[in-house]
Amino acid sequence: MENGKVVIKVENLAKTYEDTVAVDNISFEVGEGEIFGLLGPNGAGKTTTLEIIETLRQPSSGKIEVDGLDIVHHSWEIKSRIGVQLQEAGFYPDLTLVELLKMFGGLYQVRVNPIAVLRRFSLEEKKKSFWQKLSGGQKQRFSIATTLIHDPKIIFLDEPTTGLDPQARVNLWDEIRKMHKEGRTIVLTTHYMQEAEELCDRVAVMDQGKIIKIGTPHDLIEELLASGFKRDQEVKKATLEDVFLHLTGRHLREESPS
């Protein structure tokens, strides 16, 4: 935590659906200016946890505060302070990207320069396009662009680079770093361990609804090594992804939509 201030506090959070326990009595804190990752396999409870903090779902039990406000009693005020990466269902299919950005500006009652927003995310040439006509990488970039409309203090990203090619993934990592440098707190979910190691100040490892371990990526790796862990084969100094990026370049490719 950069300055010791806690902006998200989760205490004994649980969420059940009939006989299914999605989140099982978890607690953690996120500091102001931190990039905090929730890691885990599919079905670990990451997205449910995020949606409860975002005030999109009600907890079964427990207490959560966002920027000092209780999510149950101050949900609308919290919504004005956070940015949430929307998935496909969040965008009207008959509006262009410029029209969508203006619509979001109206919802948040802020003035928006759509072209400037699109330019920041290398989408200016797509200003008259519809969201469903974008490629996977373009959709993710636009989705993240919408989180900045009202200049939120806290941003939530749910598996932001899933399905992206290496260039698009690296570009999105750079955009996340830029948002972080602007002083924002970022909470993201991912099951890409390299992504967490590249971006996160701290991570919480989840499985079966529980948090197993919390720490910095470096400390968690060092703890594992101290336990006597050794890989079955020598760790290579480069990966196949490094080879791919070296041969094809790190610059963003504007792929055609599938």
Does 46 share its domain with 165? yes
Domain count, the chain: 2
Q: Which residue has the higher pLDDT, 154 or 2?
A: 154
Does 226 share its domain with 135? no
Lowest mean pLDDT among 53-62, 106-115, 246-255: 246-255
Question: Residue 52 sits in which domain range?
Answer: 6-85+153-248
Q: What is the mean pLDDT of the chain?
A: 89
Does the predicted TM-score (pTM) go above 0.75?
A: yes
- What is the Cα–Cα distance from 74 to 24, expressed in whole angstroms? 24
Structural domain includes residue 1: no
pLDDT value of residue 258: 44
For 119-163, what is each residue's pLDDT tens digit? Answer: 999 899 999 999 989 988 899 899 999 999 999 999 999 999 888
Does 14 share its domain with 114? no
Does 73 share its domain with 163? yes
Q: What is the CATH number of the domain that holds 169?
A: 3.40.50.300
Structural domain includes residue 257: no
Structural domain includes residue 18: yes
Lowest mean pLDDT among 26-35, 226-235, 247-256: 247-256
- What is the Cα–Cα distance from 234 to 37, expressed in whole angstroms? 28
Structural domain includes residue 258: no
